[in-house]
Amino acid sequence: MTERSPIGLAVTSVHRDPAEERPEPEDFLDKEVLVIGCGNVMIGDDGLGPAFIKHLEARGGAPAHVGLLDAGTGVRTVLFGMVLAEKRPKRIVIVDAVDMGRAPGEVFEIDLAEVPPLKADDFSMHQLPTSNLLRELRDQCGVEVRVVAVQVAWLPDELRGGLSDSVAASLERARELVERLY
Using an 8 Å Cβ cutoff, are 156 and 44 in contact? yes
Q: What is the pLDDT of residue 126?
A: 39
| Cα 83 to Cα 149: distance, rounded to the nearest angstrom | 23
User: In the structure, what pLDDT confidence band is assigned to residue 156 with cuts at 50, 70 and 90?
Assistant: confident
Give CA separation, 178 vs 110, 111, 150, in Å: 12, 14, 12
Q: Is the pLDDT of residue 5 over 80?
A: no
Q: What is the pLDDT of residues 40-68, one digit of tens each?
A: 999 999 999 999 999 999 999 999 999 99
Name the pTM for this structure: 0.80
Strands 91-98 and 144-151: parallel
Instruction: Indicate the residue type of 52.
Output: F
Q: Where are the domains of the chain?
A: 18-180
| Cα 23 to Cα 49: distance, rounded to the nearest angstrom | 16
Q: What is the pLDDT of residues 106-117, one digit of tens each?
A: 999 998 877 655
Specify the DSSP element, H or E, that contains 82.
helix 75-84
Q: Is the pLDDT of residue 14 over 60?
A: no
Q: Is the pLDDT of residue 128 over 80?
A: no
The superfamily (CATH) of domain 18-180 is: HybD-like (3.40.50.1450)
